[in-house]
A and B are shown apart, each in its own frame.
Chain A
């Protein structure tokens, strides 16, 4: 069972890039949150790859920590979205520009 490890990292980079494009170009905050999930997953994949590269369990441990961070982030993020929906009707992130100079 062999996989060229560089290809795995290229996959990581691609997934991260897709998530980033979504984060930058979507106005809807819900989609931005999903894009961030993709980016988090890319990061998780990178740790799993590294773990299997050195035959260590540490990669998976870090994966579990990333999982808990993702859970907390999604919980808070969605709560914020609910409040945002009450505030501005839609979820347009560009409407939240009150902190301008």
Chain B
């Protein structure tokens, strides 16, 4: 069964290619069946492979398909690598991806470009699977760039709106900064270890100088930070919400943005060798989670709130990585994929029912008109704020507990993490209260709400997993070493729950709608809404100087030369056009004048 591993990424790729080649020839129903069906097959296959894998004791499994780049000495094979880490990632991608594809089929069914949509989505899944299954960093990088491309294509999917195109360009360029850093990091690793095979690097006993290793690791962190929207490359994620909502759920919540977490977890032996790099990762995570929490408090767009929330939760994962709790970070990655996909899909349902209105202050009172969807939203939010017993509770608890003890983190970071939990609770209940309670702030009739079964059925597994996902016990002992369960004072274990409750109470007083709610427009609120001024800062720091430089550089000497060539040809053309006046007698005259000249010359110089 494990030999069928290659089929898992191959199925979405095949489906994508078929949809691409038969563009415009298939009915929407066939398109949806093919797009969703290939994902379903991949998910079932993953399940079967996973069962066998666990039955065999979790030994890692290699499958080399062919020699991809025959470099002498260090050939790069197109090989797949399955271990406990990539199995979890693969399960999340295919499982959650299947549900989101199913939902997307219903969500996008009316769109005339539904076929193009599924081409991109399936291609994304293929690239993401290559990212997590690739046995070498080259293959990982292939997937890394592939998901970046698909993210770009899907954010700008409705390309006739200028805002979407700008957002997709922003996402592509900002992540490109990280990708370039990562590329350089990979080259450094190659020059040090002479190979890009992950296991070779990780298990290598070659002595590598600390400074080079430090440089390679910091560049890898740069790549991870760009892809996972962490400080300081976090600005693209909120704008990426311009894409269709299922895209936000799949790419910008469940899978692609967690690629950075996967990268660091996969390369963790390197990070362990370098002093101080994990402290940096922890600090990045903790700063991002507070910053994103503050920014989420001021948003009025439902999808942007969820985007900042995603950023904040990935901050927790980075904190977990920094605190040496790799297993907890991946655990949180998995539970986060469940409940954040659920949140995005319910948000998508709400947006669809509200006729593409995304402003939470124009919703209100949805508990009466959309009871089922609102319940799903509530469940997702409870998991997000780590309500005891929900999936988020276990994973976040594990991260925070590890943070308190780890020598790379410590109590300071723990306190900031707890503050983040408080902020999470505050913005989550703000969202819930404003959207679901109080009077309706819209003029849509009750009859306009028609939940279709296709929009609900895919949510049911996600709801289930968001609730009970915390009881799945993941075994990473062969990848990250034996798990250590810290024994902490009781107050430390219950502190996050207490602050979440505090956040709920505060949100009740601040945001529970007693009358019609209005978005605040104070200076501080606007500052927070614009992501704490990072866009402005980058504009001043990078864009403006670059534009200035481009303006100065525009009129250089070489340009003058080429402008002269162009100008000369145009002038010559204008002169010659005068002679080409269409009058036959002029041509004859010219011909004869030429004859006279030649004959005269012949006579003179005979």
Contact = CB atoms under 8 A, between A and B. Distances in A.
Contact of B583 (A20, A23, A94): A94
Contact of A94 (B577, B579, B580, B585): B585
B585 A100 contact: no
A93 interface: yes
B584 A93 contact: yes
A96 B592 CA distance: 21
A93 B582 contact: no
A98 B579 CA distance: 14
Given A20-B592, A24-B589, A101 B580 contact: yes
Interface string A15-45: 0000010011000000000000000000000
B581 A100 contact: yes
A97 interface: yes
B588 A24 contact: yes
Interface of B: 576-577, 579-585, 588-589, 592
Contacts of A98: 582
Interface in A60-101: 93-94, 96-101
Contacts of A96: 582, 584
B585 A97 contact: no
Contact of A97 (B576, B577, B583, B589): B583
Interface of A: 20, 23-24, 93-94, 96-101
A99 B582 contact: yes
Q: Is chain A's interface secondary structure helix, strand, loop, or mixed overall?
A: loop
B572 to A, nearest CB: 12
Nearest to A29: B584
Contacts of B583: 93-94, 97, 100
A29 B585 CA distance: 11
B437 to A, nearest CB: 76
B585 A24 contact: yes
Given A101-B576, A101-B577, A23 B588 contact: yes
A61 to B, nearest CB: 27
A9 B5 CA distance: 98
B18 to A, nearest CB: 52
A9 to B, nearest CB: 15
Nearest to B589: A24
A32 B582 CA distance: 17
Nearest to A93: B584
Contacts of B588: 23-24
Given A20-B592, A101-B576, A93 B585 contact: yes
Contacts of B581: 97, 100-101
Contacts of A101: 576-577, 579-582
**Which of A93, A94, A96: most chain B CB closer than 10 A?**
A94
Contacts of A93: 583-585
A99 B583 CA distance: 8
A92 to B, nearest CB: 11
Nearest to B588: A24
23 contacts: A20-B592, A23-B585, A24-B588, A24-B592, A93-B583, A93-B584, A93-B585, A94-B583, A94-B585, A96-B584, A97-B581, A97-B582, A98-B582, A99-B582, A100-B577, A100-B580, A100-B581, A101-B576, A101-B577, A101-B579, A101-B580, A101-B581, A101-B582
